[in-house]
Amino acid sequence: MEGRGKHRARAEDLRERYPYAREVLTLYLALLDVWDQELPPEQAFPLVVKATEAYGPAPLAEAARAAEVSVLDAWAGGAELDAAAFYLARASGAVGPYRPQAGDGDCPRCGGPAVLSYRSGGAEKLVSGKRLLRCGYCRHDWAFSASTCAGCGETSGSERTVYAEEVPGEPAVGRRDVSGDAMLPQLRIEGCESCHRYLIDVDLGRDPRAVPEVDELAALPLQLYAAERGLSKICPNLMGF
């Protein structure tokens, strides 16, 4: 398991750089304080509720205030949860439902859907450019083909679209900072025209300080761009985007 110090430092850094991500990352930092205590989900739950009431966006804070700890069992039992309950269950560290792995793009441990994709940098021990997926249910990581859609297994290059801010030969997306540099060069949208779904891919080779689950939370401009193009996320991230 990765140490959370790196997650904390990255969240603080991105919060300063991207004002639009401030609220989400402030809540994420408060959740790190809860996770550091390594509590069982039932004990983490009231602390997650408290952190969400204090730092979460108003609708989520309100939903958290009204939520019952029974959402943890509902989640484990495979019940359909609304966005707030889904957030509370995952943020409390509750075990998700086990479902048979439907495709290669699903988690080999629990069958859950992928929530993000990332590529290792050259400095990592892994082969440069190797792609991994992270489970949106249990946070397990597994290696996955860089040229296959994690949602439907599509391998045709003509059906797969990649949007990034500044990759030669690819459509540019997102905003630029005052110096004209891409703001989010380490992030891109991996979209699929077959299933109309996408994931955010975090390229550690472009920014070795990136922490996939933190950087993905700062991908809001790309997520809006994907939504405009009719793409929906394979699995929403912790904050529901």
Binding site for Zn ion (CB under 5 A): 107, 109-110, 112, 135, 137-138, 140, 149, 151-152, 154, 192, 194-195
CA 159 to chain centre: 23
Minimum distance from CB of 78 to Zn ion (Å)? 14
Q: Which residue has the tokens 């059906």?
A: 159
Task: Give the containing element (helix H, strand E) for 217.
Answer: helix 212-217
Minimum distance from CB of 153 to Zn ion (Å)? 7
Residue 128 or residue 232: which is nearer to Zn ion going by CB?
232
Minimum distance from CB of 219 to Zn ion (Å)? 19
Minimum distance from CB of 105 to Zn ion (Å)? 8
Task: Give the containing element (helix H, strand E) for 146.
Answer: none
CA–CA separation, 71 and 26 (whole Å): 24
Residue 121 or residue 190: which is nearer to Zn ion going by CB?
190
CA–CA separation, 24 and 134 (whole Å): 20
Taking phi first (over 0 means left), then psi (-120 to 50 degrees means alpha), and beta for anything else, what does residue 135 get? beta
Residue 184 or residue 195: which is nearer to Zn ion going by CB?
195
Residue 31 or residue 192: which is nearer to Zn ion going by CB?
192
